[in-house]
Structure 1
Amino acid sequence: MKDIKVLGTGCANCRNTVKLIEEVAAEKGVAITLSKVEDLPEIMKYGVMSTPGVVVDGKVVHAGGIPDRAKISSWL
């Protein structure tokens, strides 16, 4: 099971990223745990300066802007 965190303060892009990850995981039949990190000091611990950021299994894989479906699919 993939552990995925979306880093962001709650902007529309962050919410859309969460929704898109859920959709792609469901389409691929991949089990994930998805959490949202909105605490700024916690986000800074990952070194992400532009949101949304995405962390998969403890590794930052994306920062800034909504990732496309192909990119999300490659993480899964």
Structure 2
Amino acid sequence: MFDRAIKITDFLLIYIAPYHLFHGAFQIEGRIGGVIYFEDIKIGLIAVSADYPPTDAVKYSRFTEMIQLSAPNGNDRN
């Protein structure tokens, strides 16, 4: 979204157990943002105000959890 490393501040995250849902707000360089993540299906969405000072324009990005497997080593039976 930013083409460089950024620092997230004022991150407040809550977990709503019955829905396996994480939801939170944060700031990035004075911009406001929010995130939702569904733990059971491993899918989320992040949204960040596109401009500073914040406007109604928003950048969105969907994401999924990916499992990183170790390299095969000859001892694997799977």
TM over 0.5: no
Which protein is richer in strand relative to its size?
2
Which protein is richer in helix relative to its size?
1
Q: Which has the higher contact order (CA 8 A, sep 6+)?
A: 1
Q: What's the TM-score, normalizing by structure 1? A: 0.25
When Rg is computed on C-alpha atoms for both structures, the one with the higher figure is 2
